[in-house]
Amino acid sequence: MGVERRAAHNAPMFECHRQPALALALLCSAGTGAAADAPLWELGLGAAALRLPQYRGADRDSSWLLPLPYVAYRGPVFKADRDGARATLVEQGEWQLNLSAALAPPLDSGANPARAGMPRLAAAAEIGPDLVRHLTGSGSQGLALHWPLRAAVTLQRNPQAIGWVSTPHLQWNGGLGDGWRVGLRGGAVYASRRYDQYYYGVTPAQATSTRAAYAARGDYGGLQAWASLSRRWDRLWLGAYVQADSLRGSSLVDSPLVRRDHSLAVGVAMAWVFAASAQRVNAED
């Protein structure tokens, strides 16, 4: 999916690459293999097993076994495929302007000793433009440069704007033969001071003998890279992914909430496609 769970600095969903949200987004955007003639839409359901850090910089991981929706849609404006869920606003030659979205899940402070006694982190939605430059290939195959910029708002009774986040990255999608599809992505994370303060700031009132006060500065927030592998057999789809995350070189490592400057997340999933549109469209994977 075009949904990321970038681990929000925690985790998103329209980008399929953040915690359960990011991870599910990755797994949901498997695609259906190269096909010039394909159903307009397909629906399926399965399950995903994930092991992920509780947030970027956390020294504790969480394991998840979650239901996994399989969604493919190949409309002229809105698409859901191995690039994620997205709306194409403008397309001119090798350039595209898409609508990018992500979802960061909530975190109860009691689940992690580093945040003991601090307020609960609410789930957050992120949305904004994604400027894409296709460098090689066509459709969702080949190498492309993505530069998304999303505003973040908490999902609670009184929503709160918490700044912006940007994850410029290179993405390559291709095939390994015999129906196997592979996706590679790597890039940096940038965020506003307000965004980083929401996730990593510690006010003087929240400081303890083992947790110093910290005011986030924003800007560079480290590097992320992931690889995914998937295959489709008629109605059965299998997928797996691995994501590496590094905070080295960013100011976030100075936060007492960052206990580890690198992490690894993995996930596997299986889905059964039970419905498809009778309408066919030209679709390049």
For residue 100, what are the contacts with CB-CB under 8 A and spacing of at least 6? 2, 4, 14, 15, 86, 126, 127, 128, 129, 130, 148, 149, 150
Q: Does 31 have pLDDT greater than 70? A: no
CA angle in degrees (0–180, nearest 5) for 59-55-154 = 155
CA angle in degrees (0–180, nearest 5) for 114-119-125 = 105
pTM: 0.82
pLDDT at residue 225, as a whole number: 96
Which DSSP category does 205 fall into? G
Q: Does 29 have pLDDT greater than 60? A: no
Percent over 90 (pLDDT), the chain:
58
- Comparing 30 with 189, which gets the higher pLDDT? 189
Percent over 70 (pLDDT), the chain:
81
Encoded tokens for 105: 């899940």
pLDDT digits (tens, 9 = 90+) for 92-102: 889 989 888 88
pLDDT digits (tens, 9 = 90+) for 80-89: 555 556 677 7
**Domains of the chain by range and CATH?**
3-275 (2.40.160.40)
Least confident of 130-144, 146-160, 240-254: 130-144
> What is the pLDDT of the chain when averaged over all its residues?
83
Confidence of residue 284 (pLDDT cuts 50, 70, 90): low
